Chains A and B, each alone.
Chain A
Amino acid sequence: MKVVGQGLPRVEILEKVTGESVFGADVRLAAPILIGKILGSPHAHARIKSIDARKAERLPGVKAVVTAQDLPPVKYGRFVRDEEYFAHKKVRLVGDKIAAVAAIDEETAEEAIKLIKVEYEVLPHFTDGVEAMREGAALIHEEYDQYQALSMVEGRKGNICYHKQTVQGDTNRGFQEAERIFEHSFYAPMVHQTYIEPHAVLARVDASGKATVWVPTQAQFFIRASIAEIFQLPLIKVRVIPTEIGGGFGGKMLPTIEPAAVALARKSGMAVQIVMSRAEDFQVANPRTPCHLRYKTGVKLDGTIMAREVELVFGTGAYCGNGLVICQRAEMLASGPYRIPNVKIDLFCAYTNHANCGPYRAPSGPQISFASESQIDIIARELNLDPVEMRLKNAIEEGDTTPACGGPLKSVHAKETLLKAAEAAGWKERRREKNRGRGIALGYWLVGGMASSAGVKLNEDGTATVMTGVIDLSGTVTSLGQIVAEVLGVELDDVHVRTADSDFAPHSTISAGSQALRSMGSATKWAAEEVKKQIMEVAADKLEAEVSDLVVEGKRVYVKGSPERGLSLGQVGQLSLTHKRGPIVSIQSVSIFPNQPAISAHVTDVEVNPETGAVKVLRYVAAQDVGTAINPLSVMGQVQGAVIQGLGQALTEECIFQNGRMINPTFLDYKIFSSLDAPRVEVHLVEHAAEDGPFGAKGIGEPSIIPVPAAVANAVYDAVGVRISDLPLTAEKILMAIQEKNKSG
């Protein structure tokens, strides 16, 4: 392969390094733009007694004020229709939207927001899923049983918006056959994606009533559908133009401020921009679901896992939102990348009075791995087994299944990935040093695929253009270009590829779930192959040769064995315009793909300061099963970035709530890793072309974040002998545990 497999710079990179890229808040129009602001609830749970916006409407400079009265009375939600865009009877989280204003400048808009008077009757609130599920807890949705929900949404009752039990084998029998049984509880709090670009949107509604929305989103077709549903419009009356996106990590998929901007634009007749402040973004955007985890695992003395029971309680937030996406993922991942004959998984998704949690890079993955892999470490130590050996003994192999994985798994490289990490880290040759420790953990992720379509056209000069609506987060768009270049025998520079908007792009999957390249890359590859066929058809006529005798290579098509008997792709492009078949173009579609595991194995060395409890990460080794790396530069970047994000989740990050309000919504108080905290990440790729996916590529955006908290927790235990079971592993918790241990010790 010539272009696939090259670590080429991203196609849009020059715009980015020069500051030319247009992000959400950078869109400018010839017409003036109003500034929109949203009035959010100050209470986590309250009944609304009255809303009076008259004073705000009269403030000079205010061009529109909108409330629930300005929207059709629509309840929406992907799984449960439990959400109304503007609250009018009840608010269920701090920041629940009540009204929005558009004014000539920010100061006026802020002043107008303060003039809207709302009377509340405050109700008891819950920011913890287990508390919300208690018998007799005040209901967050009193009318939950009247909501429409998809039939898959099992077990809705009170504040439980989903409960599912999954059984494989018979865990009672498994525990009887086990020689030791271990039970542990863990907790992973809410953490936030903290993309550096806050949510931003610009909306305009034209004379025909069509809404155009410029927005940095991971899911332009989903945003289009959501806006159309909320405003009861046909899809062709909503155009979503995705801007460059300053990070998403799962947090830019659900509609947040977009409908408010549309409502204000419609009412004012002007363009309206809304940009979230960092504090608003922390408070109301879609963070990672906090999770209580209970693991019960039965093993033989040789380390063979006989049975595993898992209970997970997710606090999904005030509305179901994408809560089920997290639960569905958790069902697949909960028992880990292990061959276990008897498994029972209980999943609870509880309504809670905080932001609607959404997917965050590998939804449920790091929480599950933290619990599961901490426990595997505990078990290995108890049984005097090497943690690597214990994992090797149980790791999945080709043809194995895990709960809800969708059938026998193919392209499984769990053991090789584990061994690669262990070997690269020198697992066996380590020297013990005081207060230093080493930890290992596995990450389990399944990459699937979703309905996608993409087009390729050959231009008259032999260059090619890709027609795609996929959002570029991890370098997907560049990889699509590389795939087309490979198929057509040209260079990446000969291919133009950028994201088109919802009016012009064929339907594209969301950029989430580490499946965008697998889905879109497959559709794009098939379209490029079809274009190649058409090139050969046109060339065959001109060259008076059989199609089967032609070769497409080096920007030319020629007769096998006689390269001089050929045409340039430019000549073919020209010829096609007078040829009976017409311009060369193809759009192809793909549908669902089977799941394949993308395993991560991480080893880290840490040092714990026994006086302060502070953890310093000395070394980090990450092995990742990627199938084929279409662009190794992008792939390495994904692994490195995911690990550093994971270290934040392991050591420093947590959304802290008081009275339902997040009290640390700043980068000062919510500590993500800076350059001074981040170790160098040593990345080792395990590359075997996967059975499907373009050129055998798997997905890479998410998996490498999964094992990080567990690897660190295991290393901390190894260093100082304390086991922290709730994230993050702050210096304070570690120090207290060390003191406790010394007291009892």
Chain B
Amino acid sequence: MARRTKRIRVTVNGERYEKEVSPSKSLLDFLRMDLNLTGTKEGCGEGECGACSIIMNGKLVDSCLILTVEADGQKIQTIEGISRHDRLHPLQKAFAEKGAAQCGYCTPGMIMAAKYLLDHNPSPTAEQVLKAIAGNLCRCTGYGSIVDAVLSAAKER
């Protein structure tokens, strides 16, 4: 079936892409299906769980709530783009060491939310960390180890 598509240009993790996309496709689906960047997860598709959190033009967003066409011309960073070669981001290292990832499904979104925090507030308090990740649900850890990891990564940086 012929469906209307729109050509977009987008920079994801430093790579430039030009693609034909359906106007109804979410940015999350575009990342996962068209670019095969499956690190960003879908937990609800309604902007309630934060598993799909990414950074777009310096803002933390739920990629499930954004249409791909809205990302035209934008710069996007996902979990795949925050470690360089084999060097982990301090948050990734701290999440590993502090037991801040159990099942790991919320982890990519959680790390992106934490990165957004540290990008704007390099030495947050525990209270500020709790606020920064309030839009990211985790069902495994109870959040304490995540706060520890973010505080530890902030010190490391």
Contacts and interface: CB of A to CB of B under 8 A. Distances in A.
Interface of A: 7, 9-10, 12-23, 25-26, 28, 60-61, 107-108, 193-198, 244-249, 275, 277-278, 473-475, 633-634, 636-637, 640-645, 666-668, 672-676, 678, 680-681
A278 B44 contact: yes
B63 to A, nearest CB: 13
B99 A9 contact: yes
Given A247-B140, A641-B140, A676-B131, A17 B45 contact: no
Given A247-B105, A644-B143, A678-B142, A196 B99 contact: no
B49 A667 contact: yes
Contacts of A475: 102
Given A13-B101, A107-B24, A194-B139, 18 more contacts: A7-B99, A10-B102, A18-B80, A19-B80, A19-B108, A193-B139, A196-B49, A196-B106, A246-B104, A277-B45, A633-B99, A641-B140, A642-B142, A672-B137, A675-B131, A675-B138, A675-B143, A675-B146
Contacts of A108: 1
Given A23-B41, A196-B51, A675-B146, A634 B103 contact: no
A535 to B, nearest CB: 31
Interface stretch (B4-12, B65-73, B90-98): B90-98
A244 B51 CA distance: 16
Contacts of A244: 103-104
A492 to B, nearest CB: 14
B124 interface: no
Nearest to A195: B139
17 contacts: A9-B96, A17-B107, A18-B83, A19-B107, A22-B38, A25-B42, A61-B1, A197-B105, A249-B139, A278-B44, A634-B99, A637-B141, A667-B44, A667-B46, A667-B48, A667-B137, A678-B143
A666 B44 contact: yes
Nearest to B141: A641
The 5 nearest A-B residue pairs measured at CB: A19-B39, A246-B105, A16-B104, A644-B142, A19-B79
A491 to B, nearest CB: 17
A13 B141 CA distance: 14
A640 B142 contact: yes
A643 B145 CA distance: 14
Contact of B103 (A19, A473, A644, A667): A473
Nearest to A277: B45
A18 B79 CA distance: 6
Contacts of B140: 247, 637, 641
B137 A681 contact: no
A196 B105 contact: yes
Nearest to A200: B42
Contact of A17 (B38, B49, B92): B92
Nearest to A637: B99
Contact of A245 (B80, B103, B131): B103
A196 B79 contact: no
Interface string B56-85: 000000000000000000000011100100
B46 to A, nearest CB: 6
A190 to B, nearest CB: 17
Contacts of A7: 99
A246 B103 contact: yes
A672 B111 CA distance: 20
Interface residues of B, number: 56
B59 to A, nearest CB: 20
Contact of B141 (A10, A197, A640): A640
A132 to B, nearest CB: 30
Contacts of A196: 41, 43, 49, 51, 103, 105-106, 137-139
B73 to A, nearest CB: 24
Contacts of A26: 32, 38
Contact of B48 (A13, A633, A666): A666
Contacts of B78: 19
Contacts of A634: 99
Interface of B: 1, 24, 32, 36-46, 48-49, 51, 78-80, 83, 88, 91-93, 95-97, 99, 101-108, 111, 129-131, 133-147
Contact of A20 (B39, B96, B99): B39
Given A640-B142, A672-B137, A16 B44 contact: no
Contacts of A278: 43-46, 49
Given A277-B45, A667-B49, A9 B130 contact: no
A644 B141 CA distance: 8
Nearest to A13: B96
A254 to B, nearest CB: 19
Contacts of B46: 278, 666-668
B136 to A, nearest CB: 8
A416 B80 CA distance: 47
Which of B37, B38, B40, B145 has most chain A Cβ within 10 Å?
B38
B144 A681 contact: yes
Contacts of B137: 196, 667, 672, 674
B104 A680 contact: no
A533 to B, nearest CB: 34
A666 B93 CA distance: 32
A246 to B, nearest CB: 3
Contacts of B91: 17
A19 B38 contact: yes
A16 B145 CA distance: 15
A195 B105 contact: yes
Contacts of A246: 41, 103-106
Given A19-B108, A644-B142, A247 B103 contact: yes
Nearest to A16: B104
Nearest to B131: A676
A18, A25, A195: which has the most chain B beta carbons within 10 Å?
Answer: A18
B2 to A, nearest CB: 10
Contacts of A198: 42-43
A560 to B, nearest CB: 37
Nearest to A668: B48
Contacts of B40: 19
Nearest to A249: B139
Contacts of B96: 9, 13-14, 16-17
A678 B41 contact: no
A511 to B, nearest CB: 12
Contacts of B136: 675
Contacts of A61: 1
A244 to B, nearest CB: 7
Contacts of A678: 142-144
Contacts of B105: 23, 195-197, 246-247
Contacts of B93: 17
Given A19-B38, A194-B139, A675-B133, A636 B111 contact: no
Contacts of B138: 196, 675
Contacts of A28: 36, 38
Contacts of A10: 99, 101-102
Q: Considering residues B42, B44, B140, B145, which has the most beta carbons from chain A within 10 angstroms of its beta carbon? A: B140
A409 to B, nearest CB: 29
B134 A675 contact: yes
Given A278-B44, A636-B99, A637-B99, A17 B139 contact: no
A475 B99 CA distance: 10
Interface centre among B1, B37, B140, B142 (most CB of A within 10 A): B142
A637 B101 CA distance: 9
B88 A640 contact: no
Given A9-B97, A18-B83, A196-B51, A680 B144 contact: yes
Contacts of A680: 144
Contact of A674 (B51, B99, B103, B134): B134
